[in-house]
């Protein structure tokens, strides 16, 4: 697997969003957290762009940590790599003795490495064991979900996480097939989905298996429940003036990020107060108008950037205890 193919998504825009916090004279030795290390493209750029910054980088995938460790080795002890899921950020920072940080970056979704390694089962374009675990040392894989979940639960997952309109039809076919023989490989599932869908549904939106694979991946890795905890925790970890940038790749992730940022930027005072006390003032300032999209040039260079949505926010007030 070559690292040259890996092009970090919206890289310059992420650096620009975080720069004011990482170049603030009040914090000459800033700490920046890359919550989704992956192949280390964003992390390497952060270390290169901000020479006084210390990087803490998290990933649940041990193979990603190994490869990124080699890539970031030239930066020595400026980079601390941690095997952790991103909702564990508060525990990681506590363990490292870091009370607050100046920057946080999330690049959500599946890393290029996981998509490109056939035997992980993330990609519907090649046959592989149906695994989809980002951390292969723990939890149940996608095959087990397909083979053991009750039909109603599978329908819920496909609808909620894949936004799949044909969820019932697909699940009926899955249940019928798993009784004959349990699922183990991705090609059989892709074929089943193609056969189950009406012609009209196959004509739109790329590979018809895409939504089902997304739904399974989110379920296997608990991605949305992890994210629900992780974004507020990351906001809490920011020092005043600190900034957070989040890249999402589907509407469910983006909606979650949008809600947390909007709530943080809102005035929470009861209506009618002549003067709004400090504790009701917003603690975040939104740095992006809605979600920013990649440029056409970037999508042409890196097709995986196409669905990306970027949101940024700045911490403007300490939490009152």
- On whether 59 is known to bind a ligand per the annotation, the reply is yes
Please name every residue paired with 248 in a beta bridge, in sequence order, or none if there are none.
Answer: 309
Q: Are 229 and 256 in contact (CB under 8 A)?
A: no
41 is in an annotated binding site: yes
| Annotated binding-site residue? 131 | no
Using DSSP's 3-state secondary structure scheme, residue 104 falls into strand
- Calpha distance 63→36 (Å, rounded): 13
Of 39, 52, 31, 53, residue with least CA distance to 11: 39
In whole angstroms, give the CA distance from residue 85 to residue 83.
7
d(Cα 93, Cα 43) in Å, to the nearest integer?
A: 17
Per-position DSSP letters for 244-277, written without gaps between them = EEEEESSHHHHHHHHHHHHHHTS--PPTT-SS--
- Structure token digits, residue 103: 């920057």
Contact status, residue 233 vs residue 90, Cβ threshold 8 Å: yes
List, in sequence order, every residue forming a beta bridge with 281; answer none if it has no partner.
Answer: none
195 is in an annotated binding site: no
Contact 172, 196 (CB under 8 A): yes
Helix (H) or strand (E) holding 290: none
107 is in an annotated binding site: yes
319 and 278 in contact (C-beta within 8 Å)?
no
Tokens of 185: 């490989």
Residue 306 in 3-state DSSP?
A: coil
**How many helical (H) and strand (E) elements, i.e. helices and strands, does the chain have?**
14, 7
CA-based radius of gyration for the chain? 21
Nearest Cα residue to 81 out of 90, 92, 91: 92
Residue ranges for the binding site for S-adenosyl-L-methionine?
A: 40-42, 59, 86, 107, 114
Residue ranges for the binding site?
A: 40-42, 59, 86, 107, 114
């Amino acid at each position: 697997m070559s690292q040259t193919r890996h092009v970090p998504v919206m890289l310059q825009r992420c650096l620009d969003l975080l720069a004011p916090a990482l170049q603030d004279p009040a914090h000459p030795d800033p700490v920046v957290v890359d919550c989704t290390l992956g192949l280390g493209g964003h992390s390497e750029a952060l270390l290169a762009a901000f020479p006084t910054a210390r990087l803490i980088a998290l990933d649940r995938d041990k193979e990603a940590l190994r490869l990124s460790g080699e890539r970031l080795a030239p930066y020595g002890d400026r980079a601390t790599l941690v095997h952790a899921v991103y909702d564990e950020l508060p525990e990681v920072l506590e363990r490292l003795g870091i009370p607050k940080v100046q920057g946080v970056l999330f690049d959500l979704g599946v890393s290029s490495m996981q998509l490109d390694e056939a035997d992980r089962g993330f990609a519907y374009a090649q046959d592989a064991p149906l695994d989809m675990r980002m951390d292969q040392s723990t939890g149940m894989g996608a095959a087990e979900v397909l083979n053991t979940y009750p039909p109603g639960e599978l329908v819920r997952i496909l609808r909620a996480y894949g936004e799949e309109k044909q969820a019932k039809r697909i699940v009926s076919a899955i249940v019928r097939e798993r009784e004959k023989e349990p699922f183990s490989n991705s090609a059989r599932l892709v074929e089943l989905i193609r056969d189950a869908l009406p012609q009209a549904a196959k004509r739109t939106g790329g590979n018809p298996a895409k939504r089902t694979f997304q739904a399974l991946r989110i379920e296997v890795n608990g991605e949305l429940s992890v994210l629900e905890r992780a974004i507020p925790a990351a906001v809490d970890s920011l020092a005043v003036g600190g900034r957070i940038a989040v890249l999402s790749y589907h509407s469910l992730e983006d909606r979650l990020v949008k809600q947390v940022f909007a709530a943080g930027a809102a005035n929470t005072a009861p209506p009618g107060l002549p003067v709004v006390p400090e504790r009701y003032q917003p603690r975040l300032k939104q740095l992006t108008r809605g979600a920013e999209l990649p440029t056409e040039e970037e999508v042409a260079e890196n097709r995986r950037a196409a669905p990306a949505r970027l949101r940024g926010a700045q911490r403007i007030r300490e939490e009152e205890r």
